[in-house]
Amino acid sequence: MPLEFSRLSAAIAAAIFLPAPALWAEASDYAVELVETTYRVGGDAVLTLRLTDLRDQQAVADAIIFATRLDMEPEGMAMMTSPLAPLPTEKSGEYRFSADLSMKGSWQMSVAAKIQGEVETVSARIILEVQE
């Protein structure tokens, strides 16, 4: 009897304290995209990122966006960068940044995001076009 009880106790403890891997999200369960991908040359561009949970298509609010970079790497000019400054959020799941898009061509926005309760970091490199 004690042997059966200890197996049962171990099984219950495992079910309670060990979460099922199927419940864990991976970085690939999220999408980061720009709301618009075409902009005009100038110092007043507002870039809006949308972060979506692909499992339920819901916007992800309260993520911490970090490691932002905007450069012209797609044009072979990775050293041509522009600072990104965070702006107040107007809509849940969207994250806004101001940028000076000083030259026409293809730019790349690189971002990383930490999502509450998730272990992995979500990262993306998004191409945007700047026109005169």
Examine residue 11 and state whether it is found in any structural domain, yes or no: no
What is the mean predicted confidence (pLDDT) over 75-86? 97
What is the mean predicted confidence (pLDDT) over 103-113? 98
Give how many domains the chain has, as a whole number.
Answer: 1
Examine residue 94 and state whether it is found in any structural domain, yes or no: yes
Give which of 94, 108, 76 is closest to 32, Cα–Cα.
94
Q: Determine the structural domain holding residue 93 and report its residue range.
A: 24-131
The per-residue DSSP string of 59-91 comes to: E--S-EEEEEEEEEGGGTEEEEEE-EEEE---S
- Number of C-beta neighbours around residue 119 at 10 A: 10
Examine residue 127 and state whether it is found in any structural domain, yes or no: yes
Examine residue 17 and state whether it is found in any structural domain, yes or no: no
Examine residue 19 and state whether it is found in any structural domain, yes or no: no
Confidence bin at 17 (pLDDT 50/70/90): low
Distance CA 71, CA 54 (A): 27
DSSP character for 118?
-
Read off the CATH number of the domain in which 124 is found.
2.60.40.10
Examine residue 16 and state whether it is found in any structural domain, yes or no: no
Sign of CA dihedral 85, 72, 40, 103: positive
Examine residue 7 and state whether it is found in any structural domain, yes or no: no
Residue with tokens 């992800």: 60
What is the mean predicted confidence (pLDDT) over 76-98? 96
Q: 8 phi and psi, to 5 degrees?
A: -65, -45
- H or E element that contains 4: helix 2-17
